[in-house]
């Protein structure tokens, strides 16, 4: 393998694993239950959603 190929391999490994680490860190700071369209709305709690599930 040439030096350029090794450099590109290392670069893209850093990009991929760095992206994974960044997404895990972001998800730990902002869990799914507190983000998205409904956010921390009172009607988006587990109890409220389970109550509406049978309807």
Q: What pLDDT shows up at residue 39?
A: 66
Phi, psi of 49, deg, nearest 5: -70, -35
CB atoms within 10 A of CB 38: 13
Structural domains in the chain (count): 1
Domain that holds residue 43: 3-54
Which residues have CB under 8 Å from 38's CB, separation 6+?
44
Q: pLDDT class for 55, splitting at 50, 70, 90?
A: low
pLDDT tens digits, 13-33: 999 999 999 999 988 887 766
Give alpha helix (H) positions in 1-55.
3-29, 46-53
């Amino acid at each position: 393998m040439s030096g350029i190929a090794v450099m590109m391999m290392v670069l893209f490994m850093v990009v991929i694993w760095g992206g994974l680490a960044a997404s895990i860190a972001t998800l730990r700071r902002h869990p799914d239950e507190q983000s998205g369209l409904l956010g921390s709305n009172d009607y988006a709690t587990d109890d409220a959603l389970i109550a509406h599930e049978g309807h």
